[in-house]
Structure 1
Amino acid sequence: MQYPVLPQQPPPPLAPALPTKVRKVGAPLAVIIALGTLTALILVLIVATNPGGAVVGFVLTTVAMTVVVGAYLWLDRWEPEPPRLLILAFLWGASVAIVISVILEVAFEYAINPAATTESATSFFTVAIGAPAIEEAAKGLFLLLMMTGRRRLELNSMTDALVFAGLVGAGFAWMEDIFYIASGETVAASLATAGLRLIMAPFAHPLFTTCIGIAVYLALQQRHTVVKVAYLVAGYLAAVLLHGLWNASALLGPKAYFGVYLLWMVPMFALAIALAIHSRRREQRVVAAKLPGMVAAGVITANEATWLGSLRTRKAAVAAASQHGGRAAAKGVRHFAVQVVELAFAQDRIDRGFSDHRVVELRNDETYRVYAARAYAAPTLHWLTNYRAG
């Protein structure tokens, strides 16, 4: 029997909530508050230097990054990640990665040019080589952190790695763009900077860090440490190369800038989109493949398996539940579906041979959470069974 059976005294109904899981994967509220405070302090410093430009930068950049973050949340619909981890990823990019990058870039420029100041640390070597190497390392540290402890259990698919990488990059881009837009001497200059950074390349930083995200996922699929390290190094170097070419083009003039944008950035962005869509479809195939085993073990019913295997049918079931029982009923069915997906990925990890006692414990825990979520949504699930049968 793969899945633990429902105990004679089943667990109490589990309302849709995430606090237990969030604590297990390491997203303490205190850390989020600390990073949020650091982010606020950075914003205060930017506002102090140029209040008008900072307001323009904050408003425009926030609008642009809302679109970027929304795209990653859309990508994450199949197996939503814990909200605190997503917030932590964004705040890491907007605070820790920014602070590390500023300090090390100034030190880097000073090392190659002792006469440099914080205002003049913009040599070609720093912008095209030093900054990309430092910034991608600072952002990539979060993804390396995600590979440790129980956090690595959240990286079930490449989609998960792409989402975390994208949100770290979005957080970094949000703060960096506010700074550059606020640095404009006039409103017109700030708007011109905003046009170049927010209209042409709002996904630039997430795209660079995507290389590291892909490498992290591939490394987690390997058993040998040397191969894991090779993947991580290759992903980091790819991120630095992509970032470096983009930065260098901005210094070489409009022709180089638009040339790199059209011939390099746009194709790479299209490739990243294709990869993301392929990864999400693979997630659906993994879940669909595990449903028969869950039915055989009595974890779910055969009728439920007919609508749990795709986003379209799952969405239709949630919509029907909402019409029948309102928001609470829809929330219960949605939570039940998400728990089934979590269980499917835990079982898939075991079936592929990438498991230890923690993964087995996770699979058992997720099974009981499915039972508990089922108990919470039982009336609506029973109605859905009759509704779909009719």
Structure 2
Amino acid sequence: MHYPAKPAQPPPPLSPALPTKVRKVGAPLAVIIALGTLVALILILITATNPAGAVIGLILTSIAMTVVVGAYLWLDRWEPEPPRLLILAFLWGASIAIVLSIVLEVVFEAAVNPESTTESHTSFFTVAIGAPLIEEAAKGLFLLLMMTGRRRHELNSLTDCLVFAGLVGAGFAWIEDIFYIASGETLGASLATAALRLVMAPFAHSLFTTLTAIGVYFALQHRHRVVQVAYILAGYLGAVALHGLWNGSALLGPGAYFGVYLLWMVPVFTLAIVLAVRSRRREQTIVAAKLPGMVAAGLLSPNEATWLGSLRDRRAAIAAVANHGGRPAARGVRHFAAQVVELAFAQDRIDRGFGDERVVAYRNDETYRLYAARAYAAPTLSWLANYRAPR
């Protein structure tokens, strides 16, 4: 491990309040505002058709999606992604993916079933095959976008891919569920729809896109373009198959719907949870494995390595700093710890054989940012020199 040495001219302290990393990975505020405006327009259109149903749908769906988003933010605690990118993922699902899906599904239905003029005549083929093909492509486009430029460096692990996919799915489900609940002709119908969509399967769209995320993650572990495309395509087709089975069962009647739910959706969802938890544990293992090299390079002190290798110990150290020096001090140490994690993943890519010039330059950049983060948190880190993580 050849980390660059600390510059002779000390780097300026890097305040965690400066969103430099966000700008580097491409989450322009203007884009977020534009997508937010598009989401607002979609909600206005839904409300115009059925104001009472839309309000019920908005309230119930927002409660359910808060749980979904909270679960993914919990999963993202070890290496938190830039907030703007997380917001962008959710808004992509709630705007771009929704609009693309609506337009393409109308075109698809018109092509395969020219005689269909109303929603009630929408063909089984469209619902079970066309919609999954289109919707999973629209959601998956965000993950392909994340694979470009410096955004690629945010996909350090399977957990990162799962989090972005989950938030895209949550945004898509949020708007879709509001629409379906608002479409109920009576209050009872709206509540029945809410129960089916929000109680039984609030994670459904996120679960479908999880398969695309798995394909993207494995694609990122290979250099050969053909292999990368094969993995992404396999993940996408898996998402389409799972989505199509779910949609098709809903049209075949309650027996088929509940059968698929209990015998297929629940087991797959359970496996996804296990996979996500194991992936987060692997993140911790990667970081812990890189700490000795950072200590040897003089980037960290041996004492700091004792509490940086565990999420529990890291949180305990930050809590101790907050009690001693207040929130600003805790924010500085939290930023320092997060920069250690970023550097660990950058070095891991090199150690796994992906150390081309761009990756090495990125690793060096993260190293200098760690020096700067240390300069900002230096007084607090000096106080932490005698800290011992509780056991």
TM-score of the two chains, using structure 1 as the length reference:
0.98
Mapped contact 1:61–1:174 kept (Cα < 8 A): yes
Task: For 1:138 and 1:290, locate their aligned partners in 2 and report how far apart those are by CA, in whole Å.
Answer: 37
Aligned equivalent of 2:7: 7
Aligned equivalent of 1:210: 210
Measured after TM superposition, the shift of residue 115 of structure 1 is: 2.2
Measured after TM superposition, the shift of residue 122 of structure 1 is: 2.4
SS at match of 2:15: coil
In the TM superposition, what are the counterparts of 1:170-319 in structure 2 within 5 Å? Answer: 170-319=170-319
Task: For 1:201 and 1:389, locate their aligned partners in 2 and report how far apart those are by CA, in whole Å.
Answer: 40
Aligned equivalent of 2:144: 144
SS at match of 2:3: coil
Task: For 2:326 and 2:188, locate their aligned partners in 1 and report how far apart those are by CA, in whole Å.
Answer: 50
Measured after TM superposition, the shift of residue 8 of structure 1 is: 2.1
Aligned equivalent of 1:25: 25
SS at match of 2:172: helix
Greater mean alpha carbon deviation, residues 241-250 or residues 368-377: 368-377
Measured after TM superposition, the shift of residue 382 of structure 1 is: 1.1
Aligned equivalent of 1:109: 109
Aligned equivalent of 1:352: 352
Mapped contact 2:317–2:389 kept (Cα < 8 A): no
Residues matched between the structures, number: 390
Mapped contact 2:307–2:389 kept (Cα < 8 A): no
User: What runs of 5+ residues in structure 1 fail to find an aligned partner?
Assistant: none
User: What runs of 5+ residues in structure 2 fail to find an aligned partner?
Assistant: none
In the TM superposition, what are the counterparts of 1:86-105 in structure 2 within 5 Å? Answer: 86-105=86-105
Alpha-carbon distance change, 73 to 18 in structure 1, aligned in 2, over 3 angstroms: farther
Alpha-carbon distance change, 22 to 389 in structure 1, aligned in 2, over 3 angstroms: closer
SS at match of 1:352: helix
Mapped contact 2:303–2:386 kept (Cα < 8 A): no
Alpha-carbon distance change, 339 to 118 in structure 1, aligned in 2, over 3 angstroms: farther
Question: Which residue identity does 1:367 align to in structure 2?
Answer: T
Measured after TM superposition, the shift of residue 389 of structure 1 is: 9.2
Mapped contact 1:18–1:82 kept (Cα < 8 A): no
Q: Does 1:366 align with 2:366?
A: yes
Question: Which residue identity does 2:214 align to in structure 1?
Answer: I
Measured after TM superposition, the shift of residue 373 of structure 1 is: 1.1
User: Once the two structures are superposed, what CA deviation does each residue of 1:60-87 show, in whole Å capped at 9, x if it has no partner?
Assistant: 0001000000000000001111111111
Task: For 1:52 and 1:230, locate their aligned partners in 2 and report how far apart those are by CA, in whole Å.
Answer: 46
User: Once the two structures are superposed, what CA deviation does each residue of 1:298-347 show, in whole Å capped at 9, x if it has no partner?
Assistant: 01111000000010100110110011011111111111100000000001
User: Once the two structures are superposed, what CA deviation does each residue of 1:261-307 show, in whole Å capped at 9, x if it has no partner?
Assistant: 01000000000001001111110010001000100110111100000
Measured after TM superposition, the shift of residue 118 of structure 1 is: 5.2
Measured after TM superposition, the shift of residue 375 of structure 1 is: 1.2
Task: For 2:384 and 2:184, locate their aligned partners in 1 and report how far apart those are by CA, in whole Å.
Answer: 58
TM-score of the two chains, using structure 2 as the length reference:
0.98
SS at match of 1:353: helix
Mapped contact 1:106–1:121 kept (Cα < 8 A): no
Question: Which residue identity does 1:340 align to in structure 2?
Answer: V
